[in-house]
Structure 1
Amino acid sequence: MSLIFKRRSVRKFTDEEVSDDLIESLLKAGMQAPSSCNSQPWEFVVVSKSEDKQAISEMHRFAKPAAEASKLIVTLGNLNEAKVIGMIEQDLGACNENILLQATHEGLGSVWLGFHPIEDRTLRLKEYLDIPDYCIPFSVICVGYPAHDGEVKLRYDESKVHFDKY
């Protein structure tokens, strides 16, 4: 559980490159996530070219960290693989969280940039990366070495916990 309490969103990265082996480790963790009917409806685009990271960073106002990251992992929901279409967001959410936790385990920083379900964001990303129509661009995960250590604040709030009934 200590890994969960160490994870934080990192938006500033050093220039140090993240190796392909580390990216593979993150992707393996993502693919280990639970999914509806074990459909595993995920696919990924790993982005490493500076000009592509810059273009993605300009796709919406909260995507700026993409330009500085060593690599981007674009998570996609494959509609042809999903056994329950309405659950694809949950499937990809679990996948994303596994990637973020593995990044923390590997000493990397990461931040999840939401694209789905905002149509103009997903359409721009889909067009730019030539993503097929049967795949939904879900998110962009920025990965790199953190530029500075940040404080992790515990978020437990007893007032949000209810037992048996609200």
Structure 2
Amino acid sequence: MSLIFKRHSVRRFTDQKVEDEKIENLLKAGMQAPSACNQQAWEFIVVSKPEDKLAISKMHEYAKPAEKASHLIVTLGNLNGANCHRLIDQDLGACNENILLQATHEGLGAVWLGFHPIEDRTLRLKEYLNIPDNCIPFSVICVGYPAYESEVKLRYDESKVHYDRY
């Protein structure tokens, strides 16, 4: 559980490029996530060109970290590969969390930028990256070497735990 308690959202990055091997490890971790009906209906676009990162950073007010990240991992849900369409969001959420945890393990910083289900965000991303109609742009994960150290705050709140019934 140490990775879980070390992981936090990093929104500022150094100029150091993340090594290809580490990016591949993040993708392997994402693909190791559980999925409904074992559908594994995820795909990824790895973005590293400065002009693409800048364009994505302007797609919504919270996307600014994308500009300075070493890489962006765009997570997609491929509906053609999905047996359980209604659960694809849960699959991609687990996939994203695995990527974030692996980033922590690799000594990287990362932040999950939400796109789906907000239509204007997903449409902008879909058009810009020429994503096919059968794929849902779920999120953008910004990855890089953190520009700062921060203390992780434990979030356990006993008042939110209910046993047997509410």
Same fold (TM over 0.5): yes
1:18-42 Cα distance to aligned partner (Å, 9 max, x none): 0111100000000000000000000
Unaligned runs of 5+ in 1: none
Which one-letter code corresponds to 2:45 in the other structure? V
Two-structure CA RMSD over aligned residues (Å):
0.3
Runs of 4+ in 1 over 6 A off after TM superposition: none
Q: How does 1:47-62 map to 2 (within 5 A)?
A: 47-62=47-62
**Deviation for aligned residue 1:9:** 0.1
| Counterpart position of 1:98 | 98
Q: Distance in 2 between matches of 1:43 and 1:75?
A: 6
1:55-106 Cα distance to aligned partner (Å, 9 max, x none): 0000000000000100000000000111111100000000000000000000
Unaligned runs of 5+ in 2: none
Q: Distance in 2 between matches of 1:78 and 1:163?
A: 37
SS where residue 52 of structure 1 aligns? helix
| Counterpart position of 1:108 | 108
Aligned residues: 166
Q: Distance in 2 between matches of 1:83 and 1:137?
A: 18
TM-score, normalised by the number of residues in structure 1: 1.00
| Counterpart position of 2:43 | 43
Residue 135 (structure 2) pairs with residue 145 (structure 1): no
- Quick one: percent identity of the two aligned structures? 79
SS where residue 137 of structure 2 aligns? strand
Q: Distance in 2 between matches of 1:118 and 1:130?
A: 18
TM-score, normalised by the number of residues in structure 2: 1.00
| Counterpart position of 1:84 | 84
| Counterpart position of 2:71 | 71
| Counterpart position of 2:135 | 135
| Counterpart position of 1:6 | 6
Which one-letter code corresponds to 1:118 in the other structure? I
